[in-house]
Amino acid sequence: MFVDSHCHLDRLKLEEHGGSLDAVLDAARARHVHQFLAIAVTLDDVPEISAIAREHGDVVISAGVHPLHQVDPEPSVEDIKKCAERFGAVAIGETGLDYHYESVSRELQYERFTRHLIAARELELPVIIHTREAREDTLALIKEHTDPAVGGVLHCFTEDLDMARVAVGHGFMVSISGIVTFRNAEHVRELARAIPLDRLLIETDSPYLAPVPYRGTSNVPGNVVEVAECIAAERGITVDELAMQTTANFYRLFRAAAPEAPDNVREALASSGMLIDG
């Protein structure tokens, strides 16, 4: 019972899978991945990933603009809200700040991120945040514009534990990707051990960041199992426990996705005491 809490289904290299998204998702389901959150990187992506969600009951979507994507015109708060509402997004994003690259100016990223946070707050939807080398600004804007009762997630998190703790204290979860399996990523494994289990999510960020032993290939949602196995080993718990808790965390955060949870997942969570909304 795994959830891939962050994947780009519209950007998968389907030619490597017989040209079939169905084949990719069926392979993931065969590995007990029961839910997929398909992430938008521009608002123009949203209709396509919405069509995927309509065809696959275990796919839900977000709506937002990635901090490093150049778009014209820049979406207003109302543009973001209207897109999310029209296509039934369960979250706003991915959005955030990435000061490692300069493809979009810091000032423009800051303004764009602020608009997304306002839209998320007004819609009472969690926000999916990409943050890199932008600790102070990211945390300041989270504190100013987000409701801890709604929260969000720091996705593919690779920053420091103190940042994670501040975000968790403001109602956020932290998501770990396949980077946790990389040989030179001990700091991410330290995060995976230290983040409270009830605040942890797992993801692939596919088609990017394939975990060991698939590093160097195009990533797919089924590889979230390797992420879970690595984290479980680091924490000294079973993969089943890690899978169950991160699945419960997902539905607790993305409440609009909970009514779509597969019956077997809902029953298992209920029987374990990890009830979900909806």
State the pTM of this model.
Answer: 0.94
For residue 15, pLDDT over 90 is answered with no
Write the pLDDT tens digit of every residue in 208-219: 999 999 999 999
Q: Which CATH superfamily is domain 2-271 in?
A: Metal-dependent hydrolases (3.20.20.140)
Half-sphere exposure of 184 (CA within 13 A, CB side): 1
Tokens of residue 215, six digits: 């590093």
Phi, psi values for residue 151, rounded to 5°:
70, -155
- Residue located via tokens 């543009």: 79
SS3 track for 144-204: HHCCCCCCEEECCCCCCHHHHHHHHHCCEEEEECHHHHCCCCHHHHHHHHHCCHHHEEECC
pLDDT of residue 122: 98
- Output the pLDDT for position 18: 80
pLDDT digits (tens, 9 = 90+) for 191-230: 999 999 999 999 999 999 999 999 999 999 999 999 999 9
Average pLDDT of span 39-47: 97
Q: How far apart are the first and last CA of the chain?
A: 18
pLDDT of residue 259: 75
Give the other-Cβ count within 10 Å of 208's Cβ: 15
> Does residue 277 register a pLDDT over 60?
no
Supply the pLDDT for residue 79: 98
For residue 17, the model assigns a pLDDT of 80
For the chain, give the mean pLDDT.
94
d(C-alpha 142, C-alpha 117), whole Å? 8
Average pLDDT (53-76) is 97
At 101, is the secondary structure helix, strand, or coil?
coil
